[in-house]
Amino acid sequence: MRRLFFLVSLLSILVFPISNAVSSCCQCDRGVINVTPKTGMAPLSVVASGDFFWVFALDVNMGGEAIYEREFVWDDCYACVPFSVQHQFDCPGTYTISVYEHGYPYPSTTTTVTVNPPSTPYLFVYSGNSANEVYLATHYYAAERPFTSVSVDWGDGGAETFAWVPRGLYMGTPYHQYAADGEYTATVTHHYQYQYCSWDQVSTAVVKVPYPTSATRPATWGVVKAMYR
């Protein structure tokens, strides 16, 4: 009886201090993940952070685009281990971010990030040097976005890749000569190419040929000044 009492007492001395240390140090859940911001316009840079415990290494999967590994060194009380990962989403979409013990994706702690496209560029139609010649224009801020290439389909079988050029108050395409009268749908496509993804943004404009010539063409600085006299 005395021997049993001695063993129970010894066990309590060894176990209770350890359990108390763990409970006092591990003050976080099995897995917590926070992402800031949760939504925004492409390209969107986010930070995923949180706490885990009882792990030596974590994998942070950023929507399938990249997996970041974080390793930890446990201290004497096995405290919570914080992690933080920064990543930029370049393309619109909804991405699921997951955090899990390295090499074991199931189960995992997850959250989502929503990346919205920028506003679609608006197209203006301006006359060229004749009733059948036109060019398209858009705002400076849209033409200076970080796209990789831009092309225009004139709707009559003609298409070309181009670079926006300044035309007065706007940025313009090259001139295009339509061979026949009619109504055409011109389409401008901005193509974005990144390391993990690519996407296109499409704008359209209706061109009626012959297009009425305008007495005030925003093609030269002299004309622009005349608009404000």
Question: Within a domain: residue 60?
Answer: yes
pLDDT the model gives residue 56: 79
- The answer to whether 61 and 97 have CB atoms below 8 angstroms apart is yes
pLDDT the model gives residue 3: 45
Question: Within a domain: residue 1?
Answer: no
Residue 60 burial (10 A CB sphere; 0-12, 13-18, 19+): buried
Tell me how far the alpha carbon of residue 196 is from its chain's centroid.
11
Question: Within a domain: residue 49?
Answer: yes
pLDDT digits (tens, 9 = 90+) for 25-72: 555 655 678 999 999 999 999 999 988 777 778 899 999 999 999 887
Examine the fold and report which residue of 70, 92, 116 is the final residue of a domain before the chain moves on. 116
Domain count, the chain: 2
Same domain? For 30 and 106 the reply is yes
pLDDT the model gives residue 23: 41
Same domain? For 73 and 129 the reply is no
pLDDT the model gives residue 82: 79
Residue pointed to by tokens 């979409």: 93
Token readout for 39 is 């939504």
Mean pLDDT score across all residues of the chain: 82
User: Which residues constitute the domain of residue 99?
Assistant: 26-116
Question: Within a domain: residue 42?
Answer: yes
Same domain? For 210 and 144 the reply is yes
pLDDT digits (tens, 9 = 90+) for 121-160: 999 999 999 989 999 999 999 999 999 999 999 999 999 9
Give the residue, 17 or 76, on which the prediction is more confident.
Answer: 76
Percent of the chain with pLDDT over 90: 62
Same domain? For 65 and 138 the reply is no
**Cα separation values, 123 from 33, 58, 116, 143, Å:** 42, 48, 21, 11
CATH number of the domain at 131, please: 2.60.40
Type of residue found at 194: Y
Q: Is 194 helix (H, G, I), strand (E, B) or coil?
A: coil
Question: Within a domain: residue 47?
Answer: yes
Same domain? For 204 and 151 the reply is yes
Q: Is 133 helix (H, G, I), strand (E, B) or coil?
A: strand
